[in-house]
Structure 1
């Protein structure tokens, strides 16, 4: 094809192409249509060597290292690589990434070109448009109630909803943690046991000197105390007023005294 229908690039070192699915999707399989110029002989003799050794990743970012390797070609030759390639890829992600490389100092198999290219005419991604469902019509919820990502065929849970953990996602995050994978740390909650395991909201308010729903923000300069409702005194430097108890760390303005600098001399 020479009419601009294909994504074509040539590189001495690496070739990367991706498609953005716009949100995290449940993927079943991926079909890749390589550039052939509508001529199998042309494909085998001039183009196949550029794509041998390719990989396909599924990721939530354009960084393939943060994703999952779906397929890596270690066996195809210019005579066996299909011009239309299908790979099962039971995973979840927003990006499907095609990658290939020819790195210095690496010995590659015979028939591998010394450079790589994308040479992709179409990439089709099949699966469910929403996570948390399985089945042919994507109508069956994941068997585990708190599972956000499950294997699209078997239903095996592959990732819990925010706030849950363990193999079947039946356990809440440990106290002091919350969110996806329980990887977020609760803020300065007045009672860490009252930190929401789902979104980190401090249900009974913040420790003295902090504000906000998750209590990770200190009081604004010039305020302190419970819910940051106290106003700092006449500190020599307002930014040196303790957000916890209002102590002026660098002393008072002229005419004032005491730790809080609220008393006239």
Structure 2
């Protein structure tokens, strides 16, 4: 019968990094690994820096459960490092039915029918093999194998080897076993090595073409060297350096920060760099600049949208025939320290018209009231005014919420300068007193319905002081008006 070999892979469950966020050293609890380097192995939570058990907790039980396995050593990080890892095996008649991953599923049930045993096999005369990828380099101390309950010959004579590549032929032998393991029994081998892959191979038996592996337990802890730790750092071969230089990540300070993280121990997330580019791994600055509405060297300061309320209606005063002064309060939601990114626009429209941008005023933190003097208005016209705050960055601006609307009316223009039509001086005989009659054209004022009052000034020729005589609008006569000054000296006149 033709036999063939293929690889069966399981999804690696345990991971130690997450490129989407800054890393922590130890998870807070066994239920929340997140992007932390080390999982928490304590019953009541872990200290996130040292990994020590807190709240009176102790190291958790390890897999396979019910067999006395516990996480041990510093920060409870030594234990079964093969559980739920990716495994592969030789496949013949039986191997495809009983896949490799069943030997690291945490269940030691020795019955093949229970579905928790692997069954590597191959052609007659060849040696069946099985291998686990630990996912990282580990300091291994021992390997425990659980046999199936139906045959002892399926675990008779084998070799354990270790290596750092998937190529089994490069692996170095670390332990061997000669003799049968009782059906349903276990065998423990001392296998002291530093490796990522652990491989099992039947050897020297007529039945070496097949094996029954109901669980393979590899006891060890991550292998960490201290040679790259800063001189100010402390290091342990289980949990590594307690501090790394900016741009390097724990545990051993050999790897650069993952994209999107930076700083000491890679504990900081990058800001909002332009075009989604990663930041500098040492200090976090964005070499390409910031995304729109973010600023600062590390692009973490958000330029928020300014707000004015509808109840913040602008005040208007100093209204003339062509101008007005508008005042309004400071906008809310201004990002502190980024005042230069904000300005105000005063919008004005004439009755029946459209709003026009009449003035732009920069925001400043030195005042809570702003004003703008608007010119170029039409006389005797009804207007509406509102103020809109903006945020701006480079050539981009965006409006926030505006004030309510205030209405006002411009004044009429100043009256025409009167043109004297007739000036008559008369006196009574024998008296130095007389009267002056002044007649002028009707006065006009653009936009005004009438003239409220007319004032005529007169003075002696020798005097520097003018006197005035007010004439109200009722003194107008059709297209002329008259001014009569009685009992004044001859030399006085109207002006």
Shorter-normalised TM range: 0.3 to 0.5
Bigger RCO of structures 1 and 2 (CA < 8 A, at least 6 apart)? 1
Normalised by the length of structure 1, the TM-score is 0.39
Normalised by the length of structure 2, the TM-score is 0.22
Q: Looking at CA atoms only, which structure, 1 or 2, has the larger radius of gyration? A: 2
- Greater per-residue helix proportion: 1
